[in-house]
């Protein structure tokens, strides 16, 4: 095994030619011989450099519509034979196999074709065979070969070639090999998940190539990382780097906000909503949301689904907050909000849609479908003699949407378009209700005529009894308790309305 190897022959066969030119020019200037095929061969030749066609080495043309081009011992032998093993050297000489020191290959755009809604025929044709084989072969023999498996690595390759005058060190080759296996495993994961869309095979495979190191995890003594492409979801317009806890709260804010089509504003603290409201404009929605708990809003994560204008920015700017998310910001509003350099401003570019949720626990991972079920009018079953009015139904559905995104056990109290208070993360549903009532009183809300939502059924009538004592007149809950009739009977006897949705919304 040689630590330092001078590149003398390079196999280049890529789908994307972006930024390949400077690498080809430098390799040629360093006296490297090129082996290539198809469009890449034409690309190199148009730059004025001689190329050995792959078919001259294999004795076969590209066949089966390009499915078979490089799959031949003349190519794979040149990559895989071990330069420090006498028997391999003897066989290479016997079969006239010349060494290949550098392989630059990328893969057909499988994920891009799936994302673009390509036909199955197009998608299948984008499953790379030769490319993935070349990548694995060159990465396996990293002791002797440098593998470049993605155009994202071109800048690093160019820097390496310039710095070392066309030679590579073992440490370089090993690092590029690791990137190559990252490329191949990610590619195969995408293909598997395409074929297993229906979940017929009970397997869990995920791969994220984009990652970043966070300042720390949930607490300063914990390391933290994020794997995913935040830039595809947000433009960060101001502020410090997002932290682990920031990301958790941003996810909660965005998910809750997506429940509303009308102008809405949400305020999140430790993943729970401490303010939610709808209105005709952002300024009005923010004012109503803040009323629910202006104390907890301090240092919170804010989000709206409409452009933030100057009038709303002037009000929001009065509050100390960590993050504000919006689809856009008016220029003058952005200038004002940028007055605090650490304040994070995110412009959301697209909706959040994760079909699956996963969590590591014990010695494995649990996975579930995301809860995209939002209670609607057609889901409501009136179980009391009195039916809720149209206005009360609006309030019930509003409260239920918030309830779905709040830690269990939870009770949410609301009127149409405004959260009044919530009890969150309690071990007892009664405690959650009492917490919500106490908070509503703390911030001056009169609960007469308010709506109450519960994320799960009432095992006893105690919650509706307490609600009645504080003027709450209408209730939404999943139903399903063996003692549902006790709660229904109390509501009937005290002039309250109650609807069942048939859907529980636990959140742990």
Among residues 8, 72, 140, 494, which one is catalytic?
140
Contacts 24+ apart (CB under 8 A), 314-320: 315/283, 315/286, 315/287, 316/286, 319/290
Taking the CA atoms of 127, 129, 132 and 136 in sequence, report the sign of the dihedral they define: positive
Using DSSP, how many helices (H) and how many strands (E) does the chain show?
18, 23
Distance (Å, whole) CA 302 – CA 399? 19
- Mode of pairing for the β-strands spanning 211-213 and 364-369: unpaired
Among residues 8, 17, 186, 270, which one is catalytic?
270
Distance (Å, whole) CA 9 – CA 12? 10
CB 8 within 8 A of CB 102: no
Distance (Å, whole) CA 300 – CA 294? 10
Distance (Å, whole) CA 33 – CA 213? 40
Known catalytic membership, residue 373: no
Phi first, then psi, for residue 234 (nearest 5°) are: -135, 150
Known catalytic membership, residue 270: yes
Phi first, then psi, for residue 378 (nearest 5°) are: -70, -15
- The residues, any chain, with a CB within 8 Å of residue 474's CB and separated by 6 or more, are 388, 392, 395, 396, 451, 452, 496, 497, 498, 499
- Mode of pairing for the β-strands spanning 146-148 and 272-278: unpaired
For residue 148, the surrounding DSSP H or E stretch is strand 146-148
CB 19 within 8 A of CB 110: no
CA angle 307–310–311, rounded 5-degree value = 100
Query: Environment class of residue 118 by beta-carbon count within 10 Å: exposed (0-12), middle (13-18) or buried (19+)?
Result: middle
Distance (Å, whole) CA 222 – CA 16? 40
Count of CB atoms situated within 10 Å of the CB of 475:
29
Q: 305 vs 229, 280, 415, CA distance in Å?
A: 21, 12, 20
* Chain mean position to CA 410: 27
Distance (Å, whole) CA 508 – CA 220? 23
Q: Which of 405, 404, 435 is nearest to 420 (CA)?
A: 435
Distance (Å, whole) CA 499 – CA 488? 9
List, by residue number, the catalytic residues.
140, 270
């Amino acid at each position: 095994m040689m630590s330092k190897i001078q590149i003398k022959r390079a196999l280049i066969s890529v789908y994307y030619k972006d930024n390949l030119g400077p690498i080809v020019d430098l390799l040629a200037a360093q006296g490297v011989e090129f082996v290539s095929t198809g469009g890449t061969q034409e690309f190199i030749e148009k730059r004025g450099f001689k190329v050995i066609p792959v078919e001259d080495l294999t004795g076969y043309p590209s066949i089966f519509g390009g499915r078979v081009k490089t799959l031949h011992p003349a190519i794979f032998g040149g990559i895989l034979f071990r330069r420090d093993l006498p028997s391999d050297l003897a066989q290479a000489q016997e079969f006239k196999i010349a060494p290949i020191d550098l392989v630059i290959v990328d893969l057909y755009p499988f994920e891009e074709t799936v994302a673009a809604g390509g036909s199955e025929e197009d998608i299948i044709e984008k499953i790379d065979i030769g490319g993935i084989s070349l990548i694995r072969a060159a990465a396996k023999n990293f002791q002797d070969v440098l593998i470049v498996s993605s155009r994202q690595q071109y800048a690093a390759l160019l820097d390496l070639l310039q710095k070392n005058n066309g030679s590579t060190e073992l440490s370089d080759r090993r690092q590029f090999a690791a990137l190559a296996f990252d490329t191949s495993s990610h590619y195969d994961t995408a293909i598997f998940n395409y074929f297993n869309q229906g979940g017929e095979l009970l397997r869990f495979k995920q791969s994220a190539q984009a990652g970043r190191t966070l300042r720390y995890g949930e607490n300063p003594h914990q390391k933290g990382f994020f794997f995913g492409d935040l830039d595809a979801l947000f433009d960060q317009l101001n502020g410090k780097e997002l932290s682990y806890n920031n990301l958790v709260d941003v996810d909660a804010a965005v998910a809750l906000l997506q429940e509303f089509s009308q102008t809405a504003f949400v305020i999140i603290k430790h993943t729970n909503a401490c303010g939610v409201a709808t209105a005709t404009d952002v300024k009005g929605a923010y004012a109503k949301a803040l009323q629910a708990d202006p104390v907890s809003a301090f240092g919170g994560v804010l989000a709206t689904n409409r452009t933030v204008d100057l009038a709303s920015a002037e009000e929001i700017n009065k509050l100390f907050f960590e993050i504000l998310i919006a689809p856009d910001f008016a220029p003058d509003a952005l200038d004002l909000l940028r007055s605090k350099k650490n304040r994070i401003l995110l412009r959301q570019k697209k909706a959040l849609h994760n079909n699956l949720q996963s969590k590591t626990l014990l010695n494995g991972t649990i996975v579930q479908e995301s809860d995209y079920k939002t209670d609607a009018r057609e889901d409501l079953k009136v179980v009391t003699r009195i039916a809720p009015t149209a206005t009360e139904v609006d309030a019930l559905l509003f409260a239920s949407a918030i309830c779905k995104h709040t830690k269990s056990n939870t009770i949410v109290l609301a009127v149409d378009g405004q959260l009044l208070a919530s009890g969150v993360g309690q071990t007892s549903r009664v405690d959650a209700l009492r917490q919500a009532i106490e908070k509503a009183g703390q911030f001056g809300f009169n609960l007469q005529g308010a709506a109450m939502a519960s994320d799960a059924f009432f095992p006893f009538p105690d919650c509706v009894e307490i609600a009645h004592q504080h003027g709450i007149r209408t209730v939404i809950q999943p139903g399903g308790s063996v003692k549902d009739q006790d709660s229904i009977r109390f509501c009937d006897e005290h002039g309250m309305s109650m609807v069942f949705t048939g859907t529980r919304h636990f959140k742990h």
